[in-house]
Amino acid sequence: MKKVYFFFFFSCLILASLTADAPFTLLTQPTLLVPLGPSTEQDTGFFSLGGGALLEGEFNFDNLNYLHFGPQLEYDILPIKEGSTSLNLFNFGVNAGVKLTPFPRSVLRIWAGGGGSYAMYEGISTLFPYYVGGTDITFRLSPAVNLGLGAKYIQGESSAGTVYQTVGLSLGLGYNFQVGNRGAELQFNPNTHEIYPLYYTWYDENPLGELKIINNSSEKISNIRTSFFVPQYMEQPKYSDEIIATMLKGETSTVSLQGLFTNQIFEINEGLKVAGEVKVEYLYYGKEYSKSIPLTVHINNKNAMTWDDDRKAASFVTANNPLVYSYSRSLSGRIRNEAISSLDKNFQIGMGLFESLNLYGLGYVVDPSSAYVELSEDQTAVDYIQFPQQTLISQGGDCDDLSVLYASMLEASGIPAAFITIPGHIYVAYQLDMKEHEARRRFPGANDLLFINDNVWLPVEVTLVDSGFLLSWQTGARQIRENKGQYEFYPVREAWQTYPAAEFESSGIAYLPAPAEVLEQHNRELKRFLRQELSTQLAMIEQQISKEGKSHILYNKMGVTYARYGFLDEALTWFQRVVDEQDFYPSLINLGNIFYLQKNASEASRYYARALNAKPNSEKALTGLAMVSSELEDYNTANSALATLAAINPEAAQGLMHLGTVGAARASSAQNREVDEWTEE
């Protein structure tokens, strides 16, 4: 009965080995047995050469791959020299040992073991222990199949003494069941960072984590590719851009993980954890294998971001959001049409957009849980930033929320915006449509502007939205000076190259102020600015007049200064004082321009004609006379002026030839009236 129990136990051990998770190899080895003892009374060997077959199982550990152990089942026959009988042996046991890899595709093992030997001889059977030790070397023919050559020493002992002593020489095959399905022995350590829905397109080309791969097998692997997949928010796995050509045994490599998410990830309002997986595909002994590693991914809410890179805020600048885009374009279009021609249009539009936020009742509200001044100092802290539409609906926000909204409105209006960051604070600048030399000539307060790469930027402190545009501008400039010029500057359009604007649209209603109401407020603030700027320049001219006395040139310069800032009535008074005394050509041209802007074609014609008399062949006078004569349907005068202009400047006349034809008057009167330049001397 003990023999039955022993055989049942050993069979269960073999079955457990075949179904184990650890790598398991089954070895079959025909064996040549060379007997060493015992000896007969005549001191000759009791046994002659014998043979047998070994069936061995081998366990390997993932983390201790230099160790092995496993069961052995062996059947041996040892012929007896004197007689025609043999000793039949069934050996059941276990062994354990160490293994090394001396060169590729080979494994050297040294081991020892023992168990029970069931012997049968001439109808007599008995069970006794045996001991075994040996070494072998195997050569891997494929990932699962290897060829082995070995030598061992076996000794059986009973209570009466040594039963047999042999040296076994074996040659056989092995099959690794788990490797046949699993491939190489690899260790994986995945690590994913927190995912921010705001940058869901950014992860297509940038890492969201990494996978550490360790090759614990005895042979190289090649063409290693990794993919990342979150079924809930991805349509298909995203393969990493990195492909590892080869990994030798024992080598470690790290691969960046990437993800191509759908915009469904933007529906996450609260942070959550979801199931994902990383898949590794590779070639091992010329055969393709793959391994999937499950992992948990943490996805933040759609408003979350960290300040490790201030450019990330550009993803919140959603200029194409329907609410932001339609309102900003409508308002900026009205301002552009009614803008003062002599003043930069971007300047006026930026002012108007800012005043619209004031009229809307937008407020600066510090969120204690996500204050920029605190979170911006910690690059790992998660901040909550509102999208422009959310800020409009809630009618308030922190400095970062207001900056994002204002930058979005500027960009929607076609005006380049930028973020300015100083320690603990963020605000906005927008670009004027002029170069540095022009800005310094047009703006007496040019020191409150930023000159970057020959572009002119105007800083705006958005948190002072209820204090007016001019104070916000002055404060934005002063903060840079107070920081001794130490600030960071991030143009939104450049930041979009790395962090594209997100696609966001929210439910909710925002009752924005009517453009007409905004224009009224805008014009009041604009006149405040103009009078501030004007007063400085007028004081300089008045000082010249008091020093040099009355002068047609200085009086005309006074009128030009008023005209450039849109104060046409005051300008007309100064020009009129000049021409009442003398037909001074610059003042005559400027009076013609004023009446042209005021749509008084007959008066404009009179002054253009006087200017032409004062300076024959004047291109400005001929051009003005042709335009207003066409409006008056005086085509003879218009064509005469055009003919003279063509003789002087054919190219300039070519673009005005339509003014001499019937029907041009209506088109001429309907066009936007602008004066590009006022004449000083």
Taking phi over 0 as left and psi of -120 to 50 as alpha, with beta for the rest, 555 belongs to: alpha
In this structure, what DSSP letter does residue 596 have? Answer: H
- Look at 375 and 323; give whichever has higher pLDDT: 323
* Cα–Cα distance for residue pair 603/572, rounded to 1 Å: 12
Confidence of residue 73 (pLDDT cuts 50, 70, 90): very high
Residue-averaged pLDDT of the chain: 86
Q: What angle do CA 621, 625, 628 make, to 5 degrees?
A: 140
Identify how many contiguous H helices and E strands the chain contains and give both numbers.
19, 25
- Look at 525 and 462; give whichever has higher pLDDT: 462
**Strand segments (E) across 525-598:** none
Q: Enter the CATH code of domain 309-513.
A: 3.10.620
355-394 exposure pattern, b = at least 16 Cβ within 10 A, e = fewer: bbbbbbebebeebeebebeebbeeeeebbbbbbbbbbbee
Angle between helices 322-337 and 345-360 (to 10 degrees): 130
In this structure, what DSSP letter does residue 39 have? Answer: B
Closest CA to 432 of 407, 457, 459: 457
* Cα–Cα distance for residue pair 458/428, rounded to 1 Å: 8
Tokens of 8: 């049942």
Tokens of 140: 């891997």
Domain ranges of the chain: 23-177, 186-299, 309-513, 534-669
Confidence of residue 5 (pLDDT cuts 50, 70, 90): very low
Question: For residues 295 and 322, is the Cβ–Cβ distance under 8 A?
Answer: no
- The string of pLDDT tens digits covering residues 452-501 is 998 999 999 999 999 999 999 999 999 999 998 889 999 999 999 999 99
* Cα–Cα distance for residue pair 358/352, rounded to 1 Å: 10
Q: Class assignment of domain 23-177?
A: mainly beta
Question: For residues 604 and 381, is the Cβ–Cβ distance under 8 A?
Answer: no
For the four alpha carbons of 352, 355, 356 and 359, in that order, the dihedral sign comes to: negative
pLDDT at 359 exceeding the cut of 50: yes
pLDDT value of residue 664? 53
Q: Which amino acid does the sequence have at 177?
A: F
By DSSP bridging, strand 450-452 and strand 244-247 are unpaired
* Cα–Cα distance for residue pair 459/438, rounded to 1 Å: 18
For 429-491, what is the HEC assignment? Answer: EEEECCCHHHHHHHCCCHHHCEEECCEEEEEECHHHCCCCHHHHHHHHHHHHHHCCCCCEEEE
Question: For residues 125 and 88, is the Cβ–Cβ distance under 8 A?
Answer: no
* Cα–Cα distance for residue pair 199/192, rounded to 1 Å: 15
Q: Which amino acid does the sequence have at 55?
A: L
* Cα–Cα distance for residue pair 300/383, rounded to 1 Å: 11
Q: Which amino acid does the sequence have at 353?
A: L
pLDDT at 669 exceeding the cut of 50: no
Tokens of 86: 């043999």
* Cα–Cα distance for residue pair 187/665, rounded to 1 Å: 84
**Rounded average pLDDT over 494-512:** 82
pLDDT at 351 exceeding the cut of 80: yes
Cα distances (angstroms) measured from residue 137 to each of 100, 133, 180, 218: 9, 14, 20, 13
In this structure, what DSSP letter does residue 237 have? Answer: -
- The string of pLDDT tens digits covering residues 104-161 is 778 899 999 999 999 998 888 899 999 999 999 988 887 778 889 999 999 999 888 8
Residue located via tokens 């590794």: 280
pLDDT at 2 exceeding the cut of 50: no
DSSP 3-state assignment of 136? strand
Q: Class assignment of domain 534-669?
A: mainly alpha
Half-sphere exposure of 493 (CA within 13 A, CB side): 10
- Look at 676 and 344; give whichever has higher pLDDT: 344
Question: For residues 299 and 233, is the Cβ–Cβ distance under 8 A?
Answer: yes
pLDDT value of residue 487? 92
* Cα–Cα distance for residue pair 588/681, rounded to 1 Å: 11
**Rounded average pLDDT over 523-542:** 84
Question: For residues 606 and 634, is the Cβ–Cβ distance under 8 A?
Answer: no
Tallying the residues shown for the chain, one arrives at 681
Tokens of 453: 């790469």
Question: For residues 276 and 230, is the Cβ–Cβ distance under 8 A?
Answer: yes
Please state which of the ranges 41-50, 166-175, 299-308 shows the lowest mean pLDDT: 41-50
**Main-chain phi, psi angles of 429, to 5 degrees:** -130, 150
Please state which of the ranges 373-387, 484-498, 601-615 shows the lowest mean pLDDT: 373-387
- The string of pLDDT tens digits covering residues 156-203 is 998 888 989 999 999 888 877 655 556 788 899 999 999 999 888 889
Question: For residues 260 and 204, is the Cβ–Cβ distance under 8 A?
Answer: yes
* Cα–Cα distance for residue pair 653/160, rounded to 1 Å: 131
Question: For residues 164 and 35, is the Cβ–Cβ distance under 8 A?
Answer: yes
* Cα–Cα distance for residue pair 578/555, rounded to 1 Å: 7
Tokens of 128: 């006794």
Helices (H), 192-344: 322-337
Question: What DSSP string describes 374-441?
Answer: HHTT-TTSEEE---HHHHHHHTEE-HHHHHHHHHHHHHHTT--EEEEEETTEEEEEEEESS-HHHHHH
Confidence of residue 24 (pLDDT cuts 50, 70, 90): low
Q: What angle do CA 660, 662, 668 make, to 5 degrees?
A: 70
- Look at 395 and 408; give whichever has higher pLDDT: 408
* Cα–Cα distance for residue pair 186/170, rounded to 1 Å: 31
Sheet of 209-215: strands edge to edge? 186-192, 209-215, 252-257
* Cα–Cα distance for residue pair 163/584, rounded to 1 Å: 138
- Which residues fall within 8 angstroms of residue 599, CB to CB, at 6 or more apart? 669, 673
Sheet of 425-432: strands edge to edge? 450-452, 455-460, 425-432, 417-422, 488-491
Q: Class assignment of domain 186-299?
A: mainly beta
